[in-house]
Chains A and B, each alone.
Chain A
């Protein structure tokens, strides 16, 4: 390969005039983390609500949950983001659309909400599956004790359900982080976006992408390690992965 490697490129000033190329990548890393945490909060809240709805005895609730999951699962993420970013402002009443278009940080909000809702359908499936996997006796015992449906879920079913799905939720969180890279298409300068612009300015393609790769690997390692600790902390002794 006659590629000209230059690892010192990271310490050279970047064209924006503020700091080095490394600073550029680090700001992208930070934006990736911010976006994924916002998206993940949205995914967890909506996913839990919809997942619970699918297990309720009410026909309407479970039908709504089914439609919600199918809607968000059967369209590519990129298309969904385009719908939120380009199409939604046009469909709203003129004044609202204008407000949306002039919103500062619009790519950030769009990415957080779009990716959050996209992932919420997956979280909902996990929540539904784990509630379905609980022994029937749990729910029956709660009913026998006189708990209302809401109490049954908050005090009996969900605490165990969440513990069961911690490992799959970890990988869904990792997916959320990876999915934030799609926001490059609406101009969000997250890690992949910054690596791409570094490549365009400096022509050091492989250094830029190597750095981004290493940063993604580091995020992964941190998340996986942190979740292992959480898993151990919340394990119930004598039950599900507990000692």
Chain B
């Protein structure tokens, strides 16, 4: 079964896999998580705001994105972003967007919908007395959110946010559909070139497995540590 398993092909590909592929995957994951949480929090605030129209639009966006497959959303943004860029910059033709920028925008906009639901739950879990007390102290809406509500919401939701980030880390492999060499894409390129798909895919699976396992173990530890005893 593993008689002609070629470990050497993996060893030779290691620098390319990690320096190109994994760096792309991890940078994309980190920046998308950061951007997604920021945009997601804004969407959650819009959704919970008193402005009917804004909260309807935010809800519509979240529901729309959450009912589409990520693959379809990747295709949407891959083709749409050049046109949006053209519209924003007023250029004569659709602008060229690099692979990284295109996938970053896609994942920020896609994950923002999921992060916003987490943040909404977090904000709603704060007892009503908190914003009421903040208002009584004379804090503005912005101050209430920044100093009172959001810090607590983040803390309560941190494990869920991180778990979603692990899902995001796994989902970044789907940029494969627009031929962008992330970690899996790099493994696939080497595997196809050397005719060693078995070794490369098994190795990629192992790497994803180890990283996700370690990360979710870390989240569980963190959860136990930061849980507030009420």
Residues of A within 8 A of B (CB): 1-3, 70-71, 73-80, 82-83, 86-87, 90-91, 174, 177-182, 184-185, 192, 195-196, 199, 205-206, 209, 212-213, 216-217, 220
Contact = CB atoms under 8 A, between A and B. Distances in A.
A181 B69 contact: yes
Contact of B69 (A79, A82, A192): A192
B18 interface: no
A74 B67 contact: no
Interface of B: 1-2, 64, 67-72, 75-76, 79-80, 83, 86-87, 93, 170-171, 173-174, 176-177, 184, 188, 197-198, 201-202, 204-205, 208-209, 212-213, 216
Nearest to B83: A1
Contact of B87 (A1, A177, A213): A1
Nearest to B214: A74
Task: State the main secondary structure of chain B at its contact with A.
Answer: helix
Given A74-B208, A80-B205, A178-B70, 4 more contacts: A74-B209, A91-B198, A182-B71, A213-B64
Contact of B80 (A71, A86, A206): A206
B68 A216 contact: yes
A181 B72 contact: yes
24 contacts: A71-B209, A73-B212, A74-B212, A76-B170, A76-B184, A79-B184, A79-B205, A80-B205, A83-B202, A87-B197, A87-B198, A87-B201, A178-B68, A180-B69, A181-B70, A182-B71, A185-B176, A206-B79, A206-B80, A209-B72, A209-B79, A213-B76, A216-B67, A217-B64
Contacts of A179: 69
Contacts of A71: 209
Nearest to B76: A209
B68 A213 contact: yes
A217 B209 CA distance: 32
A196 B73 CA distance: 12
A33 to B, nearest CB: 14
A109 B87 CA distance: 43
B69 A83 contact: no
B191 to A, nearest CB: 8
Given A1-B86, A91-B198, A213 B72 contact: yes
Contacts of A73: 212, 216
Contacts of A75: 170, 205, 208-209, 212
Contacts of A1: 83, 86-87
